[in-house]
Amino acid sequence: MTDRYLTKSLAVIAMMVTPLLAQDPPPQAPPRQHPAPKNLKLLTPAELMPAMRSFTTALGVKCNFCHVEGNFASDDKPEKETARHMITLARDVNSKFPDGKMHVTCYTCHRGSTEPAMAPEGGPAPPAGAPPPPPPPAQ
Ligand code: HEC
Ligand code: HEC
């Protein structure tokens, strides 16, 4: 490598680097914004993120249980469509309470699991209309 070549190369590098060094420090990053939702059929944009957080807690899952990685608007995962049915189901039940308040949430049934328990642990559910089971024996 000749000296001349070296000098020229250094000059080129200096030209490339100088504008980077000359830049002002980047301004404070703005707060992270969610892109506007494109595929809402039931929730309002204001309801969306609180609902999503409550779903993950209620079912004990991460976002990708219902969502295709990197594409929240996609309906390709059947769990997302099931969740829509469940939103309607919960709204329906709540609309039947006479006081107009919300009493039933995803957590009411799910309790941190994707499959709500159908019976108490260790035994089948009593048939409908059966008398209540006897109290557990005193210890
Ligand atoms: C139990 C299933 C479920 C889980 C878990 C879940 N979501 Fe959702 N998500 C949905 C459903 C259903 C909709 C569509 C609601 C509608 O149609 O109004 C949705 C819609 C969205 C949208 C709007 C997409 C668009 O462009 O229309 C975003 C963003 C989103 N979810 C983010 C999240 C994030 C972030 C998490 C994790 C914190 C999460 N979701 C967890 C079911 C879920
Ligand atoms: C009245 C009780 C009840 C309520 C309320 C309820 N669910 Fe469910 N959910 C169930 C039952 C029962 C299943 C079926 C589980 C199975 O297949 O074993 C289920 C299944 C699901 C599944 C599918 C799970 C899987 O393994 O594929 C999703 C997703 C779901 N629920 C989301 C929700 C969301 C979100 C809410 C609140 C908006 C909600 N559920 C409210 C009872 C309920």
Residue 70 lies in a domain: yes
Residue 101 lies in a domain: yes
Nearest C-alpha to atom 41 of ligand 2 is from which residue?
106
This prediction has a pTM of 0.79
What backbone torsions phi and psi does residue 121 show, to the nearest 5 degrees?
-55, 135
Distance from chain centroid for Cα 81: 14
Looking at the CA of residue 80, tell me the nearest atom of ligand 2: 29
User: Which amino acids bring their CB within 6 angstroms of ligand 1?
Assistant: 37-43, 48, 52-53, 55-56, 59, 61, 63, 65-67, 72-73, 79-80, 83-84
Write out pLDDT tens, residues 123-138. Answer: 777 777 777 767 777 7
Q: Specify the pLDDT at position 87.
A: 98
Average pLDDT of every residue of the chain: 85
Structural domain total, the chain: 1
Residue 115 lies in a domain: no
Q: Specify the pLDDT at position 12.
A: 60
- Closest by Cα among 108, 112, 79 to 93: 108
Q: Is the pLDDT of residue 119 over 60?
A: yes
Structural domain containing residue 68: 54-110
Is 67 close to ligand 2, i.e. is its CB under 6 Å away?
no
Looking at the CA of residue 41, tell me the nearest atom of ligand 1: 17
Residue 38 lies in a domain: no
What is the pLDDT confidence band of residue 17, given thresholds at 50, 70 and 90? Answer: low
Residue 90 lies in a domain: yes
Q: Specify the pLDDT at position 37.
A: 97
Percent of the chain with pLDDT over 90: 60
Ligand lying nearest the CA atom of residue 66: 1
Q: Specify the pLDDT at position 114.
A: 98
Residue 73 lies in a domain: yes
Q: Is 83 exposed, middle or buried (0-12, 13-18, 19+ CB in 10 A)?
A: buried
Write out pLDDT tens, residues 60-74. Answer: 999 999 999 999 999
What is the pLDDT confidence band of residue 14, given thresholds at 50, 70 and 90? Answer: low
Residue 82 lies in a domain: yes
Nearest C-alpha to atom 37 of ligand 2 is from which residue?
106
What is the pLDDT confidence band of residue 9, given thresholds at 50, 70 and 90? Answer: low
Residue 92 lies in a domain: yes
User: Ligand 2 centre and the CA of 133: distance in Å?
Assistant: 27
Cβ atoms of 112 and 58 closer than 8 Å: yes
